[in-house]
Amino acid sequence: MTATSGDIVRRRLWTTGAVSLSVFGSLLAVSLTQASETIPDWNSWVGFLLNLGAAATLVWRHRAPTAVLAACVFAPLFFATDATAALIALYALAQSERGVRLAAGTVAVYIASAVSLTYDAHRTRDNSLLTIGSPRADDGMPKPSWDVPLWIPWIVAAVVVGIVVTVALLRHTQFQLARAEQSRDRATKQTDVMRDEMIRTEERTRIARDMHDTLAASLSRISLLAGAVQVGGTDDPEKIVTNASMIRSTAHEALDELKSIVGVLRGSVPAQQGGPQGIEGIAELVQSARAAGLHATLYTDLRPGTVGTVSGHVTYRVVQESLTNAQKYAADQTIRIAITGADIHGIKINTRSKLSSRPPAVPVGSRSGLQGLAEQAHNIGGSFQAGALGDEFVLDCWLPWYA
C-alpha cells in the first residue's frame, strides 16, 4: 500500500517516542545503579553508552528488524542496564517475521530482560524496580539490599516479553485484516465497474441490433418499391406516384423509429414513444409489407392476457426479420405467419415461405439478424430455429409469456 502523508507523520512520531523511551530507560537504569552502589560504575556506564547506540538504531527497526534487535540485546545481556530498546525491537520484529527468526529473537530478548531484571534485583530495595514499592528503611538505618528470590526476575521477564509479542501479533493481524478489507473494497469497485461496462456493452448491442432490424426492414421495403417504379417505367404515372409516396412514407417511419431508439439511448425519450414494438404492432407491420407488394398471411391465436414487455418486443422483431428476409429473398412467394400462445404455454411463432428461384432483390447479407434474434430468444429462456426445410424456409421460435 502507498503510504500517505498522515502515515509518514504517524511513523515519525512513533519512532521519536520509541527512541526517547529507550534513552529514558537507560538514564533511569544508570541513575538507579549509581544510587545503589552495589555494581561497579564502569559496568553501568558501558551499558548506558551501548544502549544509546541501540536507541539510535531503532530508527531502522522496520527496515532491518533482525539487525536492530541484535544491536539492542547486546548491552542488557552483559551489563547492568535496561532492556527497553530490546523490547521495542522485538515488537517491530514480531510484526514482520515469523518462524525461526521470531522464536530466536523472542528467546534472546527474554534472556536479556531476565538478566537486566536480575541486575535490578541486586540493587538496594529503594533503587530496584522490583522492590521499589516496599516499605522504606528508617532514617539512620542502612538501606536493605537484595532479598528477591532468583526466579522472580525470570518470571517477570517472561510476562513482559509475552505481553510485547502478543500485542505485536494482534496489531499485525489487525493490520492484515485492514489490508484485506481494502483489497476487497478495491476488487468490489473493479467488479462494479466491469459489471457496469458489461451492462452498457449489452445495451449498445441491443440498440445496434434494433437499429439493424429497423433499417433492414425499411430499406428492403424501399428497395422493392423503387424496383417496382423502375420496372413500371412511365406506363402508369399514377402507380409511380403511389409507389413514390410509399417510399417517402417508409423512409419517414424508419427515421422516426431510429430517432426513438437514439432517444432511449440518450435517456431523453420514453421507450413507448417510438411506436408499437410489441405484439400489438405486428398487424400494422404485416400490412406495411403487403403495401410494399409482399404476399403475406397472418394468423394469431393468443389467449387474453398481458404479454411480457421483452417477449412482446422479441415477437415483433421475429416477425419483422421474417418479413425483411422474405422481401429480400422470396418476394415472389407468400409468407405465412402464425402466432399462438397462452400464459401457461408461452408464445410460439412460426413463419414459412417457399424458396424462390429468382435472384435476391438486394445483395445477400450476413444473416446477423437471425443470429441476433436467436441470442435475444435464448437470453429470456426461449428457443429459436431457422433454416431451409425441404422447399421452404421455416422459422420456429418459442418465448415465455411473462418475460
| Parent domain of 354 | 278-403
Is residue 246 situated within a structural domain? Answer: no
In the listed set 148, 183, 211, which residue is the last one of a domain according to the structure? Answer: 148
Residue 180 falls inside a structural domain: no
Indicate the number of domains in the chain. Answer: 2
264 in any annotated domain: no
* Average per-residue pLDDT for the chain: 79
pLDDT tens across 163-208, in order? Answer: 888 888 888 888 888 888 888 888 888 888 888 888 887 777 777 7
Residue 262 located in a structural domain = no
Q: Is the pLDDT of residue 264 over 80?
A: no
pTM for the structure as a whole: 0.48
Is residue 242 one of the residues assigned to a domain?
A: no
pLDDT confidence band for 299 (50 / 70 / 90): very high
- Give a yes or no: residue 164 inside a domain: no
Q: Where is the domain boundary, 117, 148, 179?
A: 148
Q: Which three cell numbers stand for residue 10?
A: 504517524
Q: Are 110 and 149 in contact (CB under 8 A)?
A: no
The torsion of the CA quartet 356, 358, 360, 366, rounded to 10 degrees, works out to: 50
The rounded distance, in Å, linking the Cα atoms of 169 and 34 is 37
User: What is each CA distance from 35 to 21, 24, 25, 119, in whole angstroms?
Assistant: 21, 16, 15, 14
pLDDT band (50, 70, 90) for residue 110: confident
Helix (H), strand (E) at residue 249: helix 237-266
Q: Is residue 402 part of a domain?
A: yes
Give the domain CATH number at 346: 3.30.565.10
169, 180, 328, 331 from 228: Cα distances, Å:
87, 71, 14, 12
The model's pLDDT over 62-73, given as tens digits with 9 standing for 90+, comes to 888 888 888 888
Instruction: Specify the pLDDT at position 273.
Output: 41
Range with the lowest mean pLDDT among 87-96, 138-147, 293-302, 346-355?
138-147
Query: Is 244 inside any structural domain?
Result: no
Picking from 148, 176, 195, the residue at the C-terminal end of a domain is 148
267: part of which helix (H) or strand (E)?
Answer: none
The DSSP symbol for 183 reads H
